[in-house]
Chain A
Amino acid sequence: NAGVTQTPKFRILKIGQSMTLQCTQDMNHNYMYWYRQDPGMGLKLIYYSVGAGITDKGEVPNGYNVSRSTTEDFPLRLELAAPSQTSVYFCASSYSSSRGWNEQYFGPGTRLTVT
């Protein structure tokens, strides 16, 4: 199993440009997540999905959009890039759980710089 894969690894965008960060998992997990990690700031949830066709906002959704058409893929779209979106973006996936939590498996991250 490849686990959670993300592309690209690095990207530099100009202000106002758009891009899509790709995320794919091969573990048949129904839950998928997008986080951003700023230096010294921990992980902040952007969006999450509990299954194909179902997405919901996290803590910091402004400036981003997502879609989930398949179980495997969960792309994150930046429409008008701003310097405040300079960050490292992590995709994660997990099984659902009735106990209130389940282990999230993280991808290697995408480092995005907006100048």
Chain B
Amino acid sequence: QKEVEQDPGPLSVPEGAIVSLNCTYSNSAFQYFMWYRQYSRKGPELLMYTYSSGNKEDGRFTAQVDKSSKYISLFIRDSQPSDSATYLCAMSAPLGGSNYKLTFGKGTLLTVNP
């Protein structure tokens, strides 16, 4: 079983739709949970991060973590064509001291159609 599983999509939605992106994981040591957004031919950029189970909201984006189920989600409300990108989940586990291991999902390609 892979440490992080993410459905690669692709996912195509109409403008204004609610989008749900998900990742599951198997490593109980993961502490921080992140979502990165990557536009075509660009580097990833951090969108949101969470530490504990629960929801975190930032504008149209909500990140949700359920540690008991080892499941994280990113919801995008009122999706816009500018949200079209690949969304990567990532999780960090401590390695001792200030070192940590960051594991990425494969990414989900999202297209929002006007």
Contact = CB atoms under 8 A, between A and B. Distances in A.
Interface string A5-46: 000000000000000000000000000000000001111110
Q: Secondary structure of the B side of the interface?
A: strand
A63 to B, nearest CB: 20
A100 B94 CA distance: 5
A9 B87 CA distance: 22
A62 interface: no
Contact of B102 (A41, A50, A104, A109): A104
Interface stretch (B40-48, B53-61, B63-71, B75-83): B40-48
A1 interface: no
The number of chain B residues touching the other chain, given as a range, is 20 to 34
Interface string A86-102: 00001010001110110
A43 B42 contact: no
B88 interface: yes
Q: Secondary structure of the A side of the interface?
A: loop
Contact of B43 (A45, A50, A107): A107
The number of chain A residues touching the other chain, given as a range, is 20 to 34
Interface string B76-114: 000000000000101011100011101011110000000
Interface of A: 4, 40-45, 50, 90, 92, 96-98, 100-101, 103-104, 106-109
23 contacts: A40-B107, A41-B106, A42-B105, A42-B106, A43-B88, A43-B104, A44-B104, A45-B102, A50-B98, A50-B99, A90-B44, A96-B98, A97-B98, A98-B98, A100-B31, A100-B32, A100-B92, A101-B32, A101-B34, A101-B100, A106-B43, A106-B44, A107-B43
Interface of B: 4, 6, 8, 31-32, 34, 41-46, 49, 88, 90, 92-94, 98-100, 102, 104-107
Given A40-B8, A101-B100, 16 more contacts: A42-B4, A42-B106, A43-B90, A45-B102, A50-B98, A90-B43, A92-B43, A97-B98, A98-B98, A100-B100, A101-B49, A101-B102, A103-B46, A106-B43, A108-B42, A109-B41
